[in-house]
Amino acid sequence: MLKLRDGVVELYRKVATSIPNDVEEALKKAYENETNQISRTALEIILKNISFARTSSRPICQDTGFPVFYVKTPRGLSQSLIMEVINDATRIATRKIPLRTNAIDTLTDNNTGDNTGFLFPLIHIDETEEEHFNVELLLLGGGSENIGQTYKLPALINIDGKEFIAERNLEGARKCIFDAIFKAQGKACPPYYIGVAVGGSKEQTAFLSKRQLMRRINDENPIAELNTFEKDLLQEINRIGIGVAGFGGNNTAMGLKIALAARHPASYIVDISFSCWAMRRGRLIW
């Protein structure tokens, strides 16, 4: 368990101080095709930032985020023990890397000082038939968290005074996604990575939409209709013109991923999660 703890500390370091290859590649591609001069300069600085952070092992963003773990364990291991190990690793990583202390006691308003608190970090554990541990970590910044949206369809979508009905279908979800991006503008560091989920319960869709951020940018959705939806919508989003940091241009999003869950007849919930360009995710197999 000590080895697992040290492994999680190193996972924190990797995730906080570097970004995955697929994301860096997407940003390099964005730099190549960016037509807006300010956004191009911003991308140049962003790419330098990624390289400075990696070589100096410093957090890529001062907001080292809300840590969310997705853990798959071999059968029969104690879940409470794994949570203890992750909490210990969080305290050590906070001192050692260091991470910014982001856990606030919501009642007293005091910073807990070590990035742990009730349901902080958030840890999802699934038992599997595999022999290995699979620990995935997402560090999501507060700005990105705050621009996420939830819609209950049918709903009236209002874009600057022009109204549209979002019906209970993928076209309705598409309108919600446009609305969420319109509300977000450049507030949370675009180009964004966008996770969407449609289903029938708030926690189910909130979980799933954030989970989509863990998918690689170039993966394919196994459901052909959703795969087309993801690719077409991404192209459309990049015609909106918000651009890098909201400066304008043709790079508003790096990727969009959608998942569906079964729903209750009364409910049709569309939940949308965002990540900034500094999409910090990583995996440890142990």
Partner 1 sequence: MVRLNTPLNTEDILSLKLGEMVFINGIIFTGRYKVHRYLANEKPPISSMPFDLQGGVIYHCGPLLKKHDDNYSVLSAGPSTSSRVDLYQPEVIRTYNIKAIIGKGGMGINTIKAMQECKCIYLNTISGSAVYLANRIKKVIGGYKIDEFSDIEAMWAFEVEDFPAVLTIDTQGNTLHKNIKNLSSVNIINLIQR
Least distance from partner 1 to the Cβ atom of residue 123, Å:
23
Residue 56 binding partner 1, by CB under 8 A: yes
Q: How far apart are CA 92 and CA 82, in angstroms?
A: 15
Residue 80, CA distances (Å) to 84, 86, 94, 114, 122 in order: 6, 10, 21, 19, 13
Place of tokens 């409470």: 80
Instruction: Collapse the DSSP code of 20 into the 3-class scheme (helix H, G, I; strand E, B; otherwise coil) and give the result.
Output: coil
Residue 185 binding partner 1, by CB under 8 A: yes
Residue 194, CA distances (Å) to 76, 197, 217 in order: 35, 10, 10
Give the end-to-end CA distance of the chain in Å, rounded to a whole number. Answer: 11
Choose which of 107, 239, 262, 265 interacts with partner 1 (CB under 8 A): 239
Choose which of 28, 29, 58, 202 interacts with partner 1 (CB under 8 A): 58
Residue 42 binding partner 1, by CB under 8 A: yes
Residue 20 binding partner 1, by CB under 8 A: no
Sequence-distant (6+) residues with CB within 8 A of 44 are: 31
Choose which of 13, 22, 24, 101 interacts with partner 1 (CB under 8 A): 101
Nearer to partner 1, 74 or 98 (CB): 98
Binding part of the chain for partner 1, among 126-134, 141-149, 200-208, 257-265 by CB under 8 A, reads 141-149
Size of the site for partner 1 (CB under 8 A): 53
Least distance from partner 1 to the Cβ atom of residue 52, Å:
4
Residue 64 binding partner 1, by CB under 8 A: yes
The structure tokens listed for 218 are 């170039």
Instruction: Collapse the DSSP code of 200 into the 3-class scheme (helix H, G, I; strand E, B; otherwise coil) and give the result.
Output: coil
Q: How far apart are CA 40 and CA 53, in angstroms?
A: 20
Least distance from partner 1 to the Cβ atom of residue 164, Å:
6
Nearer to partner 1, 122 or 164 (CB): 164
Choose which of 247, 269, 270, 282 interacts with partner 1 (CB under 8 A): 247
- 55 alpha-carbon distance from chain centroid: 24
